[in-house]
Amino acid sequence: MITTDKEELSYWISVKLGDIIQLTDEQTIGYLMEEGYEHLSHGADFTVNRKREITAHEGRTKWLILDIEYGVFTWYLIVKSNGLDFDLYLYYIPEGFVDGDRNDIINNSDWLMEVWEDGMELKDLPFAKEIQQGEGILFKTDGPRYGTFVEDRDKSFATIMEYSCDAEGEKNPLLIALELNNAEGWEESEESLSVDDYGDIKVEVTTEEGVTINEDSSYIILLQGCKIAIGDIDVLRT
């Protein structure tokens, strides 16, 4: 069954594993036809096989990440919202990029990070401010954002880097790099004694809490893609 309220954010939040994301945009259909896929006159039916979400620590931005699969391809539908307003983006892992921890990135895709200077620890190395991809194609970013990544109630600390380029004719002008780190909450309590005016002893408890981020547990992925029109996508509920 196809629902009809896809202009509501709740429509996308309610997508579940096994649902079908039907894409009818010209770029998707043209690419799949070039790859030898047929019977696409009614669109390409991708199956949702993973669902995750990132909530920004500052502001109201959220990124709903749906891993969608068609044939040998795994793409990523990202619903980026700010309150009730949202936009849809379709991403893929760019050719040649190897995901993994920071050592993997330095060994395989060091252009994603700034130049490693002497004395700097790898965990402190920032992401690149600009990424060159081919002649005349330069992706730029406004800098990192931070948030909480949630999947099946498990939480991680997330760094989000969003890049864009204005190269004429570039079909996929957006990049998003995500770094996830294990994070553990902590709480400390301290008792102190005081005497009131009547000589009674009062016990005061001060509690502090926070999060410890394990920078050595990083996992980094890079995605490239574009915005997709709401008229070019539907959800078929299972």
pLDDT in tens, 27-67: 999 999 999 999 999 999 999 999 999 999 999 999 999 99
Q: Is residue 23 part of a domain?
A: yes
How many domains does the chain contain in total?
2
- Cα angle at 217 between 99 and 123, to 5 degrees? 85
Q: What are the structure tokens assigned to 145, written together?
A: 């954002």
CB–CB of 141/127 below 8 Å? yes
Distance CA 52, CA 60 (A): 17
67, 16: one domain: yes
19, 74: one domain: yes
32, 81: one domain: yes
In this prediction the pTM is 0.86
120, 217: one domain: yes
Q: What are the structure tokens assigned to 141, written together?
A: 């970013």
141, 221: one domain: yes
Q: Is residue 196 part of a domain?
A: no
pLDDT at 207: 74
Kind plus residue range of the DSSP H or E element containing 25: none
pLDDT tens per residue across span 132-166: 988 888 999 999 999 999 999 888 999 999 999 99
Query: The domain containing residue 154 runs over which residues?
Result: 105-185+213-225
81, 121: one domain: no
- Average pLDDT over all residues of the chain: 90
Neighbours of 66 (CB within 10 A): 23
156, 180: one domain: yes
